[in-house]
Amino acid sequence: MNTRDGTNASLERRALLQASRLERFRRMVEIRLVEDRIIALFGDGLIPGSTHTCQGQEAVSVAVAAVLQHSDTVACTYRGHGMALALGVTREALLGEIFGRSIGCMGGLGGSMHLSDPAVGLLPTFAIVGAGVPIGVGAALAAQVKGTHDISVSVFGDGASNIGAFHEGLNLAAVWSLPTVFVCENNLYGEYSPIARTTPVTDIAVRAASYGMPSQVVDGQDLDALEEVVGAAAARARQGGGPTLIEAKTYRYAGHSRSDKATYRPDGELEEWLRRDPITLFGQRLVDEGAADEDALEAVWEESRAQLEQSLETVLASPVPGPSDMLANVTAGRS
């Protein structure tokens, strides 16, 4: 997908998202449908390797994409399908990568946990918990040295805030006043462990004080609240004000990965969070504003389902990479 056509498609999708609130709703719906389908197709044995989905966390990805320039960079986790789609990666490029097809954004060689699209600033997603934080800091340092006025965003889970790379990254970003934003998607679980059993503080955001860094806790199910907070932090970073730590309180509806049924969750917890579904909340807001009616929202769901099926047909009909493709982008220097 590293072609002019692929680049143009990604940039066009980003522009659509940023131009219209209804398109933000559409992108969240798209992410939800894609993730639901991935779980079903994984169960059918059509997806190699592991996969981690983000149903319930769509607003965080869409908010980040809505406020960034395409030249900014984003480093995120192995639960990165939603971020990739929000930033502009096409359904075909995303699903192709997950299915291990040549049409994928990494030529089908990376899989679910290794997505990237330089056209919209998506750095390769990271399978190691917390690994994206120092990479995002490095991207911010590069922007600062080059004087580009670009910023970087590092998106990670609550579990990553207990990793050394998190503390090292925040410390360095603060010392050098780097143009970066740290976004913690606190979905209450680090893999299979509830946050109360692994973390001695209720709010991850309080850890920013140790590095002289401003922070804010925000409702991760409220797209507008997220846009406001992330947008302000991005503007501050771009103007030379340094880094910010944002904690988005959110929830993943599916299990940690693959066939995890999340039986470790207490009774009623999932149902409580489903009542605050970010897509439902934002859809109702559009209706209340008069930006759309119920029929228009339902049409978005129907159109998105049809588009997803078309994309799946394209992906499943595309070839798989061969052994020689593993060396296609590998270079060797002379001794």
Q: pLDDT tens for residues 286-324? A: 999 999 999 999 999 999 999 999 999 999 999 998 888
pLDDT, residue 193, reads 87
Q: Is 152 helix (H, G, I), strand (E, B) or coil?
A: strand
Q: 81: burial class by Cβ within 10 Å (0-12, 13-18, 19+)? A: buried
**Measured between alpha carbons, how far is residue 147 from residues 174, 179, 239 in Å?**
18, 11, 11
In-domain check, residue 90: yes
The burial class, CB within 10 Å (0-12 / 13-18 / 19+), for 257 is middle
What whole-number distance in Å separates Cα of residue 83 and Cα of residue 115?
10
Q: Residue 236, SS3?
A: helix
Across-strand partners of 152? 73, 180
Closest CA to 92 of 64, 69, 115, 71: 115
Instruction: Answer yes or no: is 327 within a domain.
Output: no
For residues 97-114, one letter each, b for 16 or more C-beta atoms within 10 angstroms of the residue's C-beta and e for the rest, the string is bbbbbbbbbbbbebbbbb
- Is 1's pLDDT higher than 70? no
Q: Is the pLDDT of residue 261 over 90?
A: no
Confidence at 190, pLDDT banded by 50, 70, 90: confident
Residue where the block lists tokens 């559409």 = 26
Q: Where are the alpha helices (DSSP H) in 51-131?
A: 58-67, 81-87, 91-98
CA distance 70 to 50: 29
Over residues 16-45, mean pLDDT = 94
pLDDT value of position 94: 97
Asked if the model's pLDDT at residue 334 lies above 80, the reply is no
- Let me know: does 223 contact 276? Beta carbons within 8 Å: no
- For residue 66, the domain's CATH number is 3.40.50.970
Q: Examine the pLDDT at 335 and tell me if it is beyond 70.
A: no
What are the structure tokens assigned to 289, written together? Answer: 């504003």
244 contacts 182 by C-beta, under 8 angstroms: yes
Q: Provide the pLDDT confidence category of residue 4 given band limits of 50, 70 and 90.
A: low
User: Is residue 328 assigned to a domain?
Assistant: no
Query: Which residue from 230, 196, 185, 237 is spatially nearest to 67, judged by alpha carbons?
Result: 230
Q: How many independent structural domains does the chain possess? A: 1
What pLDDT sits at residue 332?
Answer: 63
**Closest residue by Cα to residue 283 from 24, 13, 97, 15:** 24
What SS3 state is found at 244? strand
Exposed/middle/buried for residue 194 (C-beta within 10 Å: 0-12, 13-18, 19+): middle
Tens of pLDDT, residues 115-159: 999 999 999 999 999 999 999 999 999 999 999 999 999 999 999
* Confidence band of 5 (pLDDT split at 50, 70, 90): low
pLDDT in tens, 63-121: 999 999 999 999 999 999 999 999 999 999 999 999 999 999 999 989 999 999 999 99
Query: Is residue 81 within 8 Å of residue 89, measured between CB atoms?
Result: no
What is the per-residue pLDDT for 46?
81
329, part of any domain: no
Is-contact 198 162, C-beta < 8 A?
yes
Q: Is residue 324 part of a domain?
A: no
Enter the tokens of residue 127.
Answer: 């399978």
Show the domain range for 226.
4-252+260-313
What pLDDT sits at residue 49? Answer: 83
Task: Evaluate whether 37 touches 24 at the Cβ level (below 8 Å).
Answer: no
Q: Band of the pLDDT at 257, cuts 50, 70, 90?
A: confident
Provide the β-strand partners of residue 117. Answer: 122
The one-letter code for the residue type at 305 is: R
In a domain, 331, yes or no: no
Using one digit for the tens of pLDDT, what is the confidence trace for 31-69?
999 999 999 888 788 888 888 999 999 999 999 999 999
